[in-house]
């Protein structure tokens, strides 16, 4: 990057830090997505060692409608927006890193200094954009259906089977408590199971790089590999922590639902309450992450930090460099410059 661009990025970092703006991110295939209030950038390590970058402007909640800034409501909207951006980032990373995943990751990787510039990608046509949007919506719908089936319908079905043998489960509170405990158990088994996969382990390493980079930014330090490497890979605002909070909050919310109805009549109330659960969970994470010195808030985030010891792993310097590039590109776009697809 040229010196002028670095000056812009540093100025934007100072502005965001002074406004106490919370940045976010996500690990993708061989890379990292970072988002600031009105932009996001994905940086992916290509098989030849170069870094491919995709940037996109996004709408901030404050720019859309006043009601979307309300507590709980904003959390549900943020969840939907994060899912859409996440799938778009994964699609880009899969295209950029497919050869690396197919050929393995044991070969040498060029450092950012040694890597040459990749050719700039051509702007997609209207038909390609529509097709890409359709694919994202379709993938998102399938993922949501699978997630709801695995983490909501399966625990519900298992709890109903148990009720035939445990009369105490006729009580709504007891029924929903057991339903929630089964849901948490399935979630933890799922996390542990996917962590055993080699490709997922690499994603978890990029997840660690993402957290370390955000920590370095929030600590007002220069975004260098050395500074980022020294930071913790655990972060209180992690999506893993959010999902764990969702599991716990769902127990409280579902406890208001009757437990003596047929299975098919219990599906739709639970589905309708998912946005409420997401909104409440967002507020819990937001509140606790801002008040970590409070022992109650610290206790609230601690289980999520424990779980992140599985979902984040120590990254290599090359992976940290990718995370830094993603954050710098997001901040550069926040400043209002550059195309959405940029050279490496």
For a pLDDT cut of 70, what percent of the chain falls above it?
A: 78
Query: 97 near 46, Cβ under 8 Å?
Result: yes
The pLDDT of residue 19 is above 70? no
Give the HSE-up count for residue 97: Cα atoms under 13 Å, Cβ half-sphere. 25
For the stretch 232-235, contacts whose Cβ atoms lie closer than 8 Å and that sit 24 or more positions apart, written own/partner, are 233/207, 233/208, 233/308, 233/312, 233/313, 233/314, 233/315, 234/305, 234/308, 234/309, 234/312, 235/211, 235/308
Token pair recorded at residue 229: 């490497």
At residue 95 the predicted structure's pLDDT band, cuts being 50, 70 and 90, is confident
| pTM summary value | 0.81
Host H or E run for residue 10 = helix 3-18
**Residue 206: per-residue pLDDT:** 97
- What range defines the domain where residue 47 resides? 3-342
Tell me the per-residue pLDDT of 44-81, one tens digit each, with 9 for 90 and over: 999 889 999 999 988 776 677 788 888 889 888 888 88
- How many distinct structural domains can be found in the chain? 1
């Amino acid at each position: 990057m040229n010196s002028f661009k670095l000056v812009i990025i540093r100025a934007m970092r100072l502005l965001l830090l002074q406004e106490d703006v919370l940045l976010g991110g996500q690990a993708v295939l061989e890379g990292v997505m970072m988002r600031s209030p009105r932009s996001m950038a994905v940086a992916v390590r290509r098989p030849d060692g170069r870094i491919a970058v995709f940037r996109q402007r996004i709408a901030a909640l404050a720019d859309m409608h006043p009601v979307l800034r309300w507590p709980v409501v904003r959390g549900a909207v943020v969840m939907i927006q994060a899912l859409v951006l996440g799938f778009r980032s994964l699609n880009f990373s899969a295209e950029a890193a497919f050869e690396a995943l197919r050929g393995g990751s044991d070969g040498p990787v060029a450092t950012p200094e040694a890597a040459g510039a990749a050719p700039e990608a051509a702007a997609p046509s209207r038909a390609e954009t529509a097709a890409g949007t359709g694919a994202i919506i379709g993938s998102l719908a399938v993922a949501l259906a699978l997630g709801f089936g695995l983490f909501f319908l399966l625990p519900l079905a298992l709890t109903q089977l148990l009720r035939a043998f445990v009369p105490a489960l006729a009580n709504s509170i007891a029924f929903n408590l057991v339903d929630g405990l089964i849901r948490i158990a399935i979630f933890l088994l799922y996390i542990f199971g996917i962590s055993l996969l080699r490709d997922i382990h690499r994603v978890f390493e990029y997840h660690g790089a993402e957290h370390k980079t955000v920590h370095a930014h929030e600590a007002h330090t220069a975004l260098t590999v050395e500074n980022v490497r020294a930071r913790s890979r655990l972060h209180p605002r992690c999506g893993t922590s959010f999902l764990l909070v969702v599991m716990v909050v769902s127990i409280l919310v579902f406890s208001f639902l009757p437990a003596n109805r047929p299975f098919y009549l219990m599906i739709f109330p639970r589905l309708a309450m998912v946005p409420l659960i997401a909104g409440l969970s967002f507020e819990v994470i937001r509140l606790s992450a801002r008040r970590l010195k409070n022992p109650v808030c610290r206790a609230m985030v601690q289980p999520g930090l424990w779980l992140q010891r599985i979902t984040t792993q120590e990254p290599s310097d090359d992976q940290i460099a990718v995370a830094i590039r993603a954050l710098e590109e997001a901040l550069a776009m926040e400043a209002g410059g550059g195309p959405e697809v940029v050279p490496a």
